Structure 1
């Protein structure tokens, strides 16, 4: 009876649910920061800002109604997140924690049926980290990235050879490992494309092209970076170190994000112009009739 009363108290107090969610996400951010994953830290803050903005917009429309079973499942998920953070056993689960926390709090607040209220936020947090965990176990882009970088160098006039995941130049060589294959850049831009489509939707006929553009941009931008690293490997070690793991290494990801943002803004502008043209075309016949 006391358990049911406490669940009812949580259900009727959105403030406490918000506090639990905020505390869990703060733990996730701290763990990412302690892991020195600067790129994922920045993306985490961006994705959480997007989810927070969406929740704020719909705050007066949310319903809080959960049962014992979904609340129990939610508490189990929250407990798993806390256990992972307490034991620091997050090497393979770090990027799952934000999404798992959100699902747990959502079940605690609104149950299984009420989760559909948060589908936008859950989709955004899903793309924050879950695809990277899945991709790591399913495929490796390193051979394809090496071939593409070699192709770029060949077109640029370099005497290049590619064997497997290694790119050879007369001045030096590099080996493209999984972490340098561009999968993170691809998935981050893909996640940003999901945020864009949810918060600033385009026409249905164009939505299929948005993730394709995001994935292509991420792959191409990283391929250019790998080609530059191959050139620097034997000629400028300082530049190689900076573009490989230093602050400059994040520049290409930012360039990809900015290019995607520009393309998406152009798509939105194009739709706005089409809407204006339709409005103008519809007004002309009515003006003639009034005359």
Structure 2
């Protein structure tokens, strides 16, 4: 029967020390990797904020008409006339106008807040009519049938007041393009979801409904302006604002919290431009 030599106390202590060193190294590695992952996650969050803001704003801003779509503007806020439906005139009487509206998303049409309309004459001049404007749907399809104006599938007939000016001959009025508009304000304002931070808000002026689209941003987030005849955005608001042909969104987005072991949120800068093309979604 053989005897096996056991561990001495010194060997046991040495083994525990080595094991402790390895354990400490692994713990530091895990902690370092966890902090790195959180750092990258917060950077992705900051980038997501910028992308979400761009996507939300572009959907409306691209539809704005260039010569009269901007109502008011500052570096932190712009108020716009945003089209949400377009159609052609079927009939224009001294009291009202009948339109054949092209197909449009039913939810968009139902949730829009009508604030007026705009019409384009034969030389391309766009005139906005907002004071006293009213919209009634459905209108009278018989007017469109009589004028040989087709109401497209999923389209609709609407009645507008006031009509086109009396200076527009009835025969010339038929076929005139008209688009319905709603006033919207985009603004960088204090966030309700993240107190003390800045958010991008969208307010529908007709109803007063204000939606916080995305947050947070650094306080330096702003609008810059492309003016007629220039391809470089400027800080100064042009006078008159009808000279604005597009907006530059200078976004310094942030993560919603600071990464582990840091004191400041991660930031991601995104700069994008959108020009007013009067293109409906």
Q: What is the TM-score when the length of structure 2 is the normalising length?
A: 0.19
Q: Return the structure number with greater strand share.
A: 2
- Greater Rg, structure 1 or structure 2? 2
Larger helix proportion of the pair: 1
TM-score by length of 1: 0.19
